[in-house]
Each structure stands twice: as structure tokens, then as C-alpha cells.
Structure 1
Amino acid sequence: MTNFLFCSMDAALIGDIAWQVSREGHDVQYYIHAAGDREIADGFVTKTDDWEAEIEWADVVVFDDIWVGNEVGTGKLAQELRERGTAVVGGTPNTDRLEEDRGYAMEVLADHGIETLEHQVFTDFDAAIDHVEANPAPYVIKPLGEVQNVKRLLYVGREDDGSDVVDVLRAYKKAWGHRMKGFQLQRRVEGVEIAVCGFFNGNEFIEPINFNFEHKKLFPGNIGPSTGEMGTSMFWAGRNELFRETLGKLEGWLAEEGYVGSIDLNCIVNADGIHPLEFTPRFGYPTIILQEESFETPTGEFFEALANGEDPGLEVHRGYQIGVRVVLPPFPFDDEATYAENSRNAAIVFEGAYPGVEGDRVTTSGTAPEGVHIEDAKRVENQWRAAGESGMPLVVTGKGETMREAREQAYARIDEIVIPNMYYRDDIGERWVDGEGDRLLAWGYLGP
């Protein structure tokens, strides 16, 4: 049995993983910094109000994000703890910077022989507008720093002359100029968007490698405002060309940094090549929930080995997996009145298809409905309820030998869940079924 300390130094994100590790028989303490999130995972895991007081008790410390409040900083905390001899899943100041400073991320890629798309970083809106007008093309606007967490500000240009990007930049200057201290303009490219994700143990990537497809827009068909994520589809494979030409080239650099954890590089792939877009040098959400669902190796055993620089011998489900985020109003927007009226403390009801579930009650305190994972949820007198302030109570997963089978299982499970006013995308994984998988195979990136 191992003592695990999970730390959310900003928003609460890692509750489901902490719960899973607890159910495997390990001792768990969970710290949440954000006051509005502190009820998340109540009734599922044991909490602490003072994470530093638990360091000597903990065998493994797990950080869930790069943010400490509004500042980047868990990499520094993780590095300091490692220097004191603590086993940590977490980054370093330089790996944190990969996400916070997109220009730096592109420099790291270029320094390691990875071709990047044309991009420029701006701190002045007028200079960016002049650049687009002088170099007409479709661009993507990517905010930098703390404001990048406002996901709806990411804008993908549609017009070949960049005129819509100019209009959006003028609007952002008026509405967000006081907060958006910088942004990157990246040339838009067409192809299949796929993320290459590896778990790194401080020395090397462990196998297998994860390949996942993000679904960031709110509505089916990939329309509407951008969200953190509405769902993910994925599979696991070996060190194929897609990995070797991206994360594989950073293996030595990550070893020098002493990075431990998940690192993800989102790319656009087409017949002409692989085009990296952005890093996630931490767990992705809900990606880590879906990854954990596909683990056949115990989760606690996996993270303990990873944090201690060992190869966990990870075994995973070898087919396909999808995860669907179930959300409540006003997600993805912030509106306290709407949330209070429609979503706060909403009951989560499980209907009769789940073993160990009767109506809205899980009949054994340690049991979860199969394939159902918590995000912003709590348990009060054995009834699950929405918690926190963001309106993301659940992630529902499915697995199958094909992507179609994984979709059928996940959506059948969602059909057995009732939460007033809940909504979700019903097309997670469809892009693969509709031809993205065939295209990646035809271009030769996935290999055997």
C-alpha cells in the first residue's frame, strides 16, 4: 500500500484518478486550492487543507496541472520536491513554459529538428493586424499566458485572405486588450488533427504510446464556441513514425529536464508532413480519465513506478476508446446566476442498466457505475451530485475492438444517466469512422 498526495494547485481536476487509486487500496489525500472547487470529490476521497503538511507522509506526490492560481508554477514545486528526494509526478519550470509560452515551445521543437508551421508572437494588436493584411492567409489566433484558459478566445480563421482574423483581432483589442498580454498567430493548415501523448518516467518514454483526437467545440459537427474539451477518442500503439518524428525527438531533452508524467503534442497531419500545433505538458482532461479507463495495469502501481523512474510495464486495452464529457448550464461560460438556478447540487440519477446501482443510489460506497467517471461531482449520503462551479460533473467512457463499438458502448451508458439540463456531444469518435483513420494509415504515419 502506497501513500498518494494529489494536488490541484488551481482548479480541481484530478479527483477521478485519486478516487481510482483509493479504490485500489492505497491511502490517498487530495488537496484543492480553489475555494469554489473544494467540495469537488467530497465523499469520494479523503481531503487535506494543508498539502505541505502531508509531504513527509506521502510516498508519491501528483500535480494535476501547471497552474498555481493565476500563475504558472507547479513545475517549480515538483522540481524542488524531487531535489528533496520525494517521488513526484509533475513537470519542471521549462516544461511548464511549453504550454504557457507558445513561442518558446516552437523554439524547442525547431531546436530538435521538428519542422514547425509559420508563426509569430505579438503583444500589440495593431502590429498583428498589419502583419495579416501584408501577408494574407488563413491564421489561428492563440492567446498566451493566463488568458489562454479562456478557451473560447482561440480562433481558427476561415477566410483565405485572413479578413476574418483581422476582424476578430480588432474585436479582441476592444474586449480583451486589458487581459490578453500576448498571442500567437499561426498559419492554418488542413489535415487530420491528432495528438501524440507519451508517459515519461524522468528517463524515457514508456510504451505503449497514446494517440488521441480532441473534440473542442461545444456542438456536434465541431461548431460553436471552443471549450476545454467535450470528448476524446483514442487508441494505443508503438513507436510509429508519428511518434518518432515528434515526441520521440524530445526524449533526450525531457530526460535532461527530469520530467515525469504525461506530455501531449497536438499536430495537424497531411500528405505533406506532420505539423505540431501545441504542447500539453501535464495531464489532459478528460484525456487522463479515458487513458486510465483503458489501463489494465493498476493505476496506483503505474504512477508509483513512473514517479520513481521505473518502467511500469503498462498494459492497456488494445482496441479503441472514447470519452464523452457530460455538462450542465452555463458551460462553457461563467454565469453564476444561471449555474445556481439550473445546475448547482443537481442530482445525478443512474437508471437500471448498471450493476450495483438502484435508481439514483450507488449501492456500495466503493462502487462506480461501469464507465462513469467523476469530474465536478460529490457524493452526499451516497447520492451523486454536481459540485463546484464549472458544470462538468461526469465523463462517460466506452471501449471496443473498433471505434464504432466504443461509441456504441459509451452512448448506451449515457442513455442510463439522468441529470436535469445535461447535454453532451453525440459525435465523439465519428471523425475516425468517417475516414480520418483511413487517411492516417494511407499516409503511412501509424505503421503496423
Structure 2
Amino acid sequence: MKPKSDIPKNILLVSRWGETLDLALAIQNEGHSIKFFIQEKECKEIGDGFIPKVKSWKSQVKWADLVIFDYTGYSKEAELLKAEGKPVFGGSNYTDKLELDRNFGNDELKKHKIKTLPSKEFATFEDAITYIKAHPDAYVIKPSGETQELKQLLFVGNDDEGADVIRILRAYEKTWGNDFGNFQLQKKVKGVEISVSAFFNGKEFLKPINVTFEHKKLFPKELGVSTGEMGTSMFWVNDSPIFDATLKKFEATFAKSNFTGHIDINCIVNGNGIYPLEFTSRFGYPQIMIQRAGITEPIGNLLYKIAKGEKFKIQTKKGFQVGAFIVVPPFPYDDMKTFELFSKDAVVVFKKDLKEGLHPMHLKKVNDEWLITGNTGIALLVSGTGNTMKDAQKMMYNRINNVIVNNGYYRTDIGDRWFEDSDKLWSWGLL
């Protein structure tokens, strides 16, 4: 007799932007019944022709054995469904607030006796500029709330007096005015940027732990604007000093909020310590696609077991996984006219009919062709795995070479950070 988690399920995936098309496809290919809902109007076409879509997710709850929420902002609904006994994978009110309210996240880090970088929240640009002039230093501008979704607005200053940050704040004041919302200035510190993340089953973290290195700038060698992400390298470990110093300390608190989902904490580390920067209390993108390339058990069953509160060890590959986005204009900017001129309905062409490691992002399928849709210009994520970082990179770039996307661009150095960063991390005793 099959274990209960292995029996095909009815799975409802509630998506904010359609970012989990690849996850929905994987769940469908495993034999589960899937229904996919996308909230944002401009993203509604994503997934058309790939999987069954629904116009209202609430009308499908009774049908579903498992409800998955792929973004922050759904915690109220998630907690109500859990209270009714429905298995849910997604954020809690507490974990959503950790990500969306930077001040709250910082206060909770301090409450859990975790060292943080000095930061201060501002409601106006003038107040922030006055503060920098009174306390000259290198700072990072970090938008809060909904504005933080526009990753190109995050700015990392290099000037020790803060002059470059003042210039950027003046520019934001002219272009955004009062619509920018609250933002933080965080003291900049040098070191290695690294994330640790794990799945949480309502009671405790599941192992192994995922360690990731994000590549956020548009161009190789960390040049250009911040994009949110252009690609990531990662591996899985059973033990991590960085995890023990950060997320592990929240285990009892997450259990109190009955959190069943995935959470990531991004840090800067150096010889002086570990400094958390921000929480991502949901799937990361492209993190979940690359994680899926490294998870060797069916992802639908895994998410169901987590939602049901089961304790188990996640089956993962040894070695490394890497992934790179292939994007088209106007990425990373929001310009619908440019998108419609250069990118909308452009065909993704494959030189050979090999689609392993190709994770569709903002695509629809028409007459068996993959077409770009949505509004951001993210076509697909390409992943590779290997026993060494070089092996994983080679597989990924071989797969990228099999894809033709008109006007497409991607970074050619995803994973290269590892070779220098790993030496530093070893020397600091953090690997």
C-alpha cells in the first residue's frame, strides 16, 4: 500500500505573479491534479496552454487536498484555512511581517539575540539626506513594503561620506515624490553575501539546509543595476554555522506561528561576524527552480508532507546546482511599450528537442510553441547540476546554448563567485 503522501493529490497553487509555473508543471508531471491561479492582471496569460488555470482560487479550496501560496501577502487566508484543517504551504502572519516590515524584522533579530547592522527607517528623502550629512558613512538604500519588489531601487553606496547615496535619494525624490513610501538606510559592511534557507513543517526545520550565492547585478562581474537576481549557485548541507547563528534561533518562534513553508535569510559575513540583511519568507525566485533541480524526491509530495507537519529528511543531490535567467527587454525595467515592441509573443526556440533543466517562467504555450508573455521580460531559468561547481556551470551553459531567444540576454559568470568566496568562508570557519 502506498504511503498517503504518495497518492496523487488535488493541488491548488495560488500565485501572485505567476512565478511558480515551473513548480506547477513539475507537480502535474508527477501525476497530481493541479489548478493554477494568478492574481496580477498583467500576468494572467502566464501558464496558458501548459496547465489548468482558474479565475478564482477561493472557489477551488474545497476541491484541494493542498493549497500552496507562492508569495507574501496571503498569510491571513493561509491561517484561516489551517484553522479549518486544510493542509497549507505558505507564510504565517508573523513570517510575512518579517519580510514586508524591515523594522519589525530587525527588531525580531535583536529579540533573538542576533547581531544586526545599524539601520534607520525614513518616511521622507529630506530627513534621510539630513541624517547622512550628520552621520557621513557608506549606506545601502532599502525600500520597504511593496516598493521593495522593484529591486532596481535598492542602491549600495560606495562613497565613505555617503555622497553617492545622497545623489540617488535626490533622483528618487524627483521621480517618485511621496509615492516611494518608507525606506531604510543600512550601514554598509564589506564581506561575502550569502543566504541560508530551509523548509519548516510547523514544528521544526527540515534538513538539509540550502546555502545560496545570489548574483543580483544585470551584467557579469557585478556591474549595472540591481535586478533582484540574474542567477544563483547553491548546495545542500546538514550543518551550517551561519544557519545556527540566524534561522535556527527562530525555530520555537516559527513553531508558535504554525509556519509551514520556506524561509531564507540573506547575510553579509566576514571575519568579524555574521550580519543578517533581510528575510524572504516564501519561495525565492529563481531559488525554488534551482532547489528543485537538486531535490531528488517528488516536489508535490514533499510540499504536502511539509504542510501536514511530517518530519523527514529531504532527499537531495550532492555537489552543486546553478541557475541563470534568460531575459528580454525591458528587463529589469517596467516599460510595457518596449516589452510589446521587442518581446511579447516572441518564440523560445530549441536547437535540439531537449528540455531538461529548462524551467519556464513568464511563458504561455500556443500550438506547442513556448511564447513570452507577462510584462517583465523573464523568459526562462536554465539550471545545471554537478559534483563540482565547474561541472554544474558547464551543464547549465551547454543547456543555454541549446536555446534561442530573440533579443535574449543572460549573465555568463553565474557560479564564479564561489571560487573566491569559498576561500574566505573556509578561513572564517563559516563552511
TM-score, structure 1 length as denominator? Answer: 0.93
Counterpart for residue 398 of structure 2: 412
Question: Matched residues in 1 for 2:351 and 2:321: separation?
Answer: 23
Letter in 2 for 1:276: P
Question: Matched residues in 1 for 2:386 and 2:397: separation?
Answer: 12
Letter in 1 for 2:375: E
Mapping of 1:47-446 within 5 angstroms? 47-66=53-72, 73-352=73-352, 354-355=353-354, 369-433=355-419, 435-446=420-431
Equivalent pair of 1:301/1:312 in contact (CA under 8 Å)? no
Letter in 1 for 2:259: Y
Equivalent pair of 2:364/2:373 in contact (CA under 8 Å)? yes
Question: Matched residues in 1 for 2:17 and 2:46: separation?
Answer: 10
Q: CA deviation at 1:146?
A: 1.2
Q: Secondary structure at the match of 2:221?
A: coil
Letter in 1 for 2:290: L
Gaps of 5+ in 1: 67-72, 356-368
Equivalent pair of 1:322/1:429 in contact (CA under 8 Å)? yes
Q: CA deviation at 1:239?
A: 2.5
Q: Secondary structure at the match of 1:178?
A: helix
Which whole-Å deviations, capped at 9, do the CAs of 1:17-49 have from their partners, x for residues lacking one? 011000000010001122221111112111111
Q: Secondary structure at the match of 1:438?
A: helix
Letter in 1 for 2:81: L
Q: Secondary structure at the match of 1:393?
A: strand
Question: Matched residues in 2 for 1:400 and 1:81: separation?
Answer: 40
Question: Matched residues in 2 for 1:197 and 1:191: separation?
Answer: 19
Q: Secondary structure at the match of 1:225?
A: strand
Equivalent pair of 1:407/1:428 in contact (CA under 8 Å)? yes
Which whole-Å deviations, capped at 9, do the CAs of 1:189-214 have from their partners, x for residues lacking one? 00000001111111110000000011
Question: Matched residues in 2 for 1:175 and 1:48: separation?
Answer: 37
Question: Matched residues in 1 for 2:174 and 2:232: separation?
Answer: 34
Question: Matched residues in 2 for 1:58 and 1:395: separation?
Answer: 28
Equivalent pair of 1:302/1:312 in contact (CA under 8 Å)? no
Q: CA deviation at 1:271?
A: 0.5
Gaps of 5+ in 2: 1-7
Q: CA deviation at 1:311?
A: 2.3
Pick from 4, 9, 20: which aligns with 1:2?
9
Equivalent pair of 2:386/2:392 in contact (CA under 8 Å)? yes
Q: CA deviation at 1:312?
A: 4.0
Question: Matched residues in 1 for 2:374 and 2:101: separation?
Answer: 29
Question: Matched residues in 1 for 2:60 and 2:283: separation?
Answer: 22
Equivalent pair of 2:198/2:206 in contact (CA under 8 Å)? yes
Counterpart for residue 34 of structure 1: 40
Question: Matched residues in 2 for 1:19 and 1:201: separation?
Answer: 23
Which whole-Å deviations, capped at 9, do the CAs of 1:364-395 have from their partners, x for residues lacking one? xxxxx111001101111111111211111100
Equivalent pair of 2:362/2:377 in contact (CA under 8 Å)? yes
Which whole-Å deviations, capped at 9, do the CAs of 1:56-100 have from their partners, x for residues lacking one? 11010000101xxxxxx3111111110111100111122111111
Question: Matched residues in 2 for 1:128 and 1:261: separation?
Answer: 36
Letter in 2 for 1:441: W
Q: Which runs of 4+ in 1 moved over 4 A?
A: none
Question: Matched residues in 1 for 2:156 and 2:313: separation?
Answer: 40
Counterpart for residue 360 of structure 1: none
Letter in 2 for 1:172: Y
Equivalent pair of 1:112/1:249 in contact (CA under 8 Å)? yes
Letter in 2 for 1:4: I
Q: CA deviation at 1:339?
A: 1.0
Question: Matched residues in 2 for 1:42 and 1:408: separation?
Answer: 32
What percent of counterpart residues are identical? 45
Question: Matched residues in 1 for 2:297 and 2:110: separation?
Answer: 35
Letter in 2 for 1:3: N
Which whole-Å deviations, capped at 9, do the CAs of 1:298-341 have from their partners, x for residues lacking one? 11110010110012431111100100000011111122221111
Equivalent pair of 2:208/2:313 in contact (CA under 8 Å)? no
Q: Secondary structure at the match of 1:224?
A: strand
Which whole-Å deviations, capped at 9, do the CAs of 1:121-157 have from their partners, x for residues lacking one? 1112222112111111100000111111111111101
